Chain A
Amino acid sequence: MLRLLLEGAFYTLVLAVAGIACGTTLGLLLTPLGFLRVRPLRAFYHVFIFFTRGTPLLVLALLIFYGLPAMNFSQGPYVAGTIVLTIYSSAFFAEVFRGGVLAIQRTHLESGRSLGLAPLAFLRRIIAPLALRYALPPYVNVCVMMVKASSILSIISVWELTLAAREIIERTLLVFTALGIAAGLYFIMCFGVDRLGRRVERHLMRRGFVGERV
């Protein structure tokens, strides 16, 4: 039983990491849309965020689970699961990054501009490091959320930790043992992600990249 649950935990971790990696990329692509002067693009950004954050992950998962085969795109549960997590997390990540940029003090932006940096250098030297400093703690929170959210994929029959626990319950009725171990494994993963995030933060601080904690 322990082996089965550990295997499930491995799949949970893979799904979460894949979802976080793709979601971060998509989020980074979305964030600039929220700042553009072009009205329709900015509206698109806000509508996307509103829809994705306002509906439960399970509804999005079911929509994709039933919708993809109807569009003749069936690549198996893991691809579908990763797509679900990617779309869902990208909305949260985009908002985290946008919040990071918005938190930058006006004076910093103005002094950056007064240095006469080219737009790209301005983005790389001023905006990115400052936004990172504000966005890192909430970013880690969203990552922890994604590890937990991946459990919902068990309902659309993606085999991971929660589904493994359910199978064990159905076969052996060892409810408390199976769910207790599963909870322990989730705890270790979530706590691990949280600790990892803090270590990265401290590491960056020591290198003077992130500055003092806000």
Chain B
Amino acid sequence: MRFLNWLAAYGPSYLSGLGWTALIALWASVGAIVWGSVLLLIRLSGRRWVNLAVEGYVQLFRNTPVLLSIYLIYFGFPLIGVVWPAVICGGLALVLQNGAYISEILRGGVKAIDLVQFDAAKSLGLSGWGTFRRVVLPQVLVYALPSLGNQVILLLKDTSLLSAISVAELTMNAKLLTEQTGAAYEAFVVVAVLYLLLVVVLELAARSALRAVRWRPRHDAL
């Protein structure tokens, strides 16, 4: 009963936090996928020292916590004369970190393609772009979508860390409410449920996306 009263009183104040979390997660995911693809393309271009640099970048970000990159950008950028709002700093950190993971996921998808297929595409007279669009992309999507979905869910959960640099998203919302109202757990239970809701939405979206890209035999495929 106490919980329900609490929910009635403070429930609506979560909406702005929910909006921010969704917004940050959405744009950071888009940015991370773009950045991950760029990293992969750089890596596939095949120059040795460039490869090493990208590999070092990926390893570095995979073996250090996100919170550290968030602090690095938030506290470090003003020192070199770049003053950005906290949301942008945090979002950039999420993009840099998750881009590293996503480039690895996509690389796994590209590596799973048999090299013979590239010869086949060439013999069919497909251009570089045509090969990418008709041969590589459909297979990579099917192969990588489940892991990509997981990564986006991890990113969504990591947006909660932006509360450490006082971005007004869901977790910050709950923290403030707890301190204002003195309620011990209600605020965080509500937030946990809201995160679960977002995770379920993402899972359903990933599943329907997979269904949409899964290969169906079509005679006019080429």
Contacts and interface: CB of A to CB of B under 8 A. Distances in A.
Interface of A: 50-51, 54-60, 62-63, 66-67, 69-70, 144, 148-149, 151-152, 154-155, 162, 165-166, 169, 173, 175-176, 179, 182-183, 186-187, 190-191, 194
A152 B185 contact: no
Contacts of B51: none
Contact of B65 (A60, A70, A176, A186): A186
A55 B195 contact: yes
Contacts of A62: 171, 174-175, 178, 188
Nearest to A170: B75
Contacts of B159: 56
Contact of B63 (A63, A169, A175, A191): A191
B145 interface: no
B192 interface: yes
A169 B67 CA distance: 14
Interface in B33-76: 59-60, 62-68, 71-72, 75-76
A110 B140 CA distance: 36
A50 B196 CA distance: 8
Nearest to A169: B75
A123 to B, nearest CB: 30
A166 B189 CA distance: 28
21 contacts: A54-B196, A55-B196, A56-B159, A56-B195, A59-B174, A59-B192, A62-B175, A67-B185, A70-B184, A148-B65, A151-B67, A152-B67, A155-B163, A162-B65, A166-B71, A175-B79, A179-B71, A179-B76, A183-B72, A186-B63, A190-B64
B68 A165 contact: yes
Interface of B: 59-60, 62-68, 71-72, 75-76, 79, 157-161, 163-164, 171, 174-175, 178, 184-185, 188-189, 191-192, 195-196, 199-200
A51 B71 CA distance: 28
A136 to B, nearest CB: 19
A162 B195 contact: no
A80 B162 CA distance: 22
B196 A51 contact: yes
A187 B196 contact: no
A54 B79 CA distance: 36
The 5 lowest CB-CB distance pairs between A and B, nearest first, are A70-B184, A151-B65, A56-B160, A190-B63, A56-B157
B68 A51 contact: no
A54 B195 contact: yes
Main secondary structure of the interface of A (DSSP, over half): helix
Contacts of A154: 67
Contact of B76 (A57, A60, A70, A176): A176
A92 B62 CA distance: 18
Contact of A58 (B63, B163, B196): B163
B20 to A, nearest CB: 14
Nearest to A162: B67
A63 B72 contact: no
A55 B161 CA distance: 12
A186 B192 contact: no
B111 to A, nearest CB: 17
Residue among A58, A148, A191 with most chain B CB within 10 A: A58
A179 B199 CA distance: 31
A132 B118 CA distance: 38
Contacts of A182: 68
Contacts of A190: 62-64
Nearest to A174: B79
A179 B68 contact: yes
Nearest to B71: A179
Residue among B71, B157, B164 with most chain A CB within 10 A: B71
Contacts of B59: 187, 191
Contacts of A175: 71-72, 75-76, 79
A73 to B, nearest CB: 12
Contacts of B68: 151, 162, 165, 179, 182-183, 186
